[in-house]
Amino acid sequence: MTETWPGTAYPLGATFDGTGTNFALFSEVAERVELCLFDPDPENPGSFTETKVEVTEVDAYVWHCYIPTVQPGQRYGYRVHGPWDPEQGLRCNPNKLLLDPYAKATAGEIDWDQSLFGYDFDDPESRNDDDSAAHMTHGVVINPFFDWEGDRRLSIPYNESFIYEAHVKGLTQLHPDVPEEQRGTYAGLAHPSVTAHLKKLGVTAIELMPVHQFVQDSTLLDQGLRNYWGYNTLAFLAPHADYASSQQGQQVQEFKAMVKAMHAAGIEVILDVVYNHTAEGNHLGPTLSFKGIDNAAYYRLVEDDQRYYMDYTGTGNTLNVRHPHSVQLIMDSLRYWVTEMHVDGFRFDLAATLAREFYDVDKLSTFFEMVQQDPVVSQVKLIAEPWDIGPGGYQVGGFPPQWTEWNGAYRDTVRDFWRGEPSLGEFASRLSGSSDLYEHSGRRPFASINFVTAHDGFTLRDLVSYNEKHNEANLEDNRDGTDDNRSWNCGAEGPTDDPGVLELRARQQRNLLATLLLSQGVPMLLGGDEMGRTQGGNNNAYCQDNEISWFDWDLDPERELLLEFTRRVIAIRREHPVFHRRDFFFGRPNGSSGGLPDIRWFREDGREMSRRDWRDPERRTLGVFLNGEEIPSPSPRGEPVLDDSFLLLLNAGHEQVLYRLPPRRYGNRWRQVLSTAEPEAPEGWRHYPARAEAPVEARSLVLLRRAW
């Protein structure tokens, strides 16, 4: 018989203290709880023996015990005895082994046996009592101790940040310098060759696609596919086991070592987190954890028929942020990743879902209030994906002041501008920081996380190579994925040998990258875009855990050129504060630079833009003066910030344009810093006096620096 002590109600989960382990589980509906310990069966390799421990201590619906003999590496789960009445939202069944919502590591794969479901496949209204233990993943007790060696949060200011969105496996799986056993893992991310690439590129933060333990979908496995993106979370405190080169709880140590290596390279770690739904799906989904522990507490149920789940995400269910213990799980998880795993921030998938306490999206919701008041979570980077699929789900610009947002309006407008669609006025707003979206709530330009591409959609190379999506490999007859890509194939669909098309595609990639990096706000680059990664026209590679999605590190000269160009533009942005201001532009002088405004917009003939020009649907050109002597916010030490002044000349039309440069009071001479039509030309390749005509090739941009 296993010796048990009462233990404590908090912290929830399995907590090893150096001697034994405390177990605590919340369930308001439970009548009995059994802790199940699993050990290897010596007589049946690969199988486990189960020891059931009755949990008798209950405080405020938290069931708890302490077992002095349980050490790190111990597998465990729960069986919850309680009411079964799906019509009332009650789905307890002790025959289903349940994963601890607070599990910090997992072991074993779910194999989608009938026993994992609470009903028989041929009768959704029935009750299935098959035991699921042999087919379930287990929680693992972890060793929480780790030598951080003085590691601390980098706290890089938003306006100095450059975010790189990447996938643990995709980034490292084909890297030739990463040892084979480390490819596709946290250890692979920490490899010096990977951190060196990021550091040389100028990355200040890597935003990792979901690393919370997620589940492989049975429908995908049946088709020979796999869940690659990971938006199918089951355990919010556990690093995904498949991304670790070591198992049985050691994935926690490996993840921590990766974070430590990134910090040593000056790179923050931001996690893409999925708190809006879980892997249990709708009423026809499996019973794996929350559903069998306390279904109505953890999930939003349909008010008038609690058999069914509210679904604002398109994935079957939505977490119940109206219930204090559900909110507590989210907040405990966030704090854990910050305090114990040392991550630097979060990007919240479909974040508007978390604001739906009742129906509408409400920025005064309990979740946002909890975040604002929390002394840990409020201090890290908080990035919202500001939409879900419910009514009023597109909330760009609608989040509280301490949040930043993926700016989908930026993405759409920049794509439209460079493919020649009428968009000039809005393009100027996005280029200058989207004050129309963020200034009214007291936020700064860096509230806008600017991006042109992200994991969900075309890569940059595919954006300029395909008009239509090509998702046949997903085995859904190309029905999946978005149809409105705002892409342009530059004259041929997909691969081509036409030199004119290839040259235009290369230039368009440079145009989009340069625009992204020279815009006010925080740029986010989709990993691989810096070196022309392609998915063959697949704009929904969620199930492509293969070469379609993985990074190809074997670069040809064209891709090498793109990589060098990207590094060059990132360096320009980093070195010049005028491209990453902390304040919105005023459009007027403050007296420190001879009466010149902080920004001024010009036509190609050198005249200032008029209201009629802004409304002209045929206009495809724009000149922007950026005054480096009119930066109002001081340095961190309170000193004035002075920078060079620049002219950005943009031509999205199909013919060369001769830009007449502004009058002498804006600058006597100008030096060319960058041209997307001449990517290898060094700085100073061309010089122009005031009022001279500067050629800007069709579909290109030129950056000039004032040389006085």
Q: How big is the chain by its Cα radius of gyration, in Å?
A: 27
Is 530:460 a contact under the CB 8 Å cutoff?
A: no
Question: Residue 152 has what pLDDT?
Answer: 92
Question: Residue 389 has what pLDDT?
Answer: 59
Strands of the 138-140 sheet, one edge to the other: 48-55, 32-40, 75-81, 138-140, 106-107
Distance CA 607, CA 596 (A): 15
Tokens (6 digits) for 501? 């098309």
Nearest 5°: phi and psi at 665? -65, -20
Whose tokens are 């936020």? That residue is 443
3-class state of residue 309 by DSSP:
strand
* Region class of 197: left (phi > 0), else alpha (psi between -120 and 50), else beta: alpha
Question: Residue 387 has what pLDDT?
Answer: 72
Is 81:25 a contact under the CB 8 Å cutoff?
A: no
SS3 string, 549-570, reads: CCCCCCCCHHHHHHHHHHHHHH
Residue of 636, 669, 542 lying closest to 159 (CA atoms): 636
Tokens (6 digits) for 46? 């690969």
Beta bridge partners of 271: 208, 346
Give the pLDDT means over successive 10-residue stretches in the chain (708 positions).
Answer: 93 98 98 97 92 97 98 97 97 98 96 97 96 97 96 96 98 98 97 98 98 96 97 97 86 97 98 95 97 97 95 89 93 98 94 67 73 95 81 73 93 97 96 94 95 98 98 97 96 98 98 98 98 98 98 98 98 98 86 80 96 95 97 91 97 98 96 97 92 98 96
Question: Residue 362 has what pLDDT?
Answer: 60
Rounded (5°) CA angle 580-581-587: 125
State which H helix or E strand residue 15 sits in: strand 13-16
Question: Residue 590 has what pLDDT?
Answer: 65
Is 85:66 a contact under the CB 8 Å cutoff?
A: no
Question: Residue 528 has what pLDDT?
Answer: 98
- Spatial CB neighbours of 346, under 8 Å, sequence gap ≥ 6: 270, 271, 272, 273, 334, 337, 380, 381, 382, 383
* Region class of 37: left (phi > 0), else alpha (psi between -120 and 50), else beta: beta
Query: Which DSSP category does 73 fall into?
Result: T
Distance CA 403, CA 392 (A): 19
- Spatial CB neighbours of 386, under 8 Å, sequence gap ≥ 6: 351, 352, 394, 395, 396, 397, 398, 399, 405, 406, 408
Question: Residue 534 has what pLDDT?
Answer: 98
Q: Catalytic annotation on 385? A: yes
Give 175-231 as a DSSP string: -TTS-GGGTTSHHHHTSHHHHHHHHHHT-SEEEES--EEE---HHHHHTT----S--
Question: Residue 331 has what pLDDT?
Answer: 96
Distance CA 13, CA 465 (A): 49
Distance CA 701, CA 708 (A): 22
Distance CA 74, CA 37 (A): 7
Give 104-154 as a DSSP string: S-EES-----GGGSSSBTTBTTS------GGGS-EEE--------TT----
Q: Which of 349, 357, 416, 629 is the catalytic position?
A: 349
Whose tokens are 């600017």? That residue is 450
Residue of 576, 541, 578 lying closest to 683 (CA atoms): 576
Asked whether the CA dihedral 351, 283, 225, 462 is positive or negative, the reply is: negative
Give 401-437 as a DSSP string: TT-EEE-HHHHHHHHHHHTT-S-HHHHHHHHTT-HHH
Is 654:605 a contact under the CB 8 Å cutoff?
A: no
3-class state of residue 612 by DSSP:
helix
Residue type, 609: M
Is 311:356 a contact under the CB 8 Å cutoff?
A: no
Q: Which of 254, 344, 385, 545 is the catalytic position?
A: 385
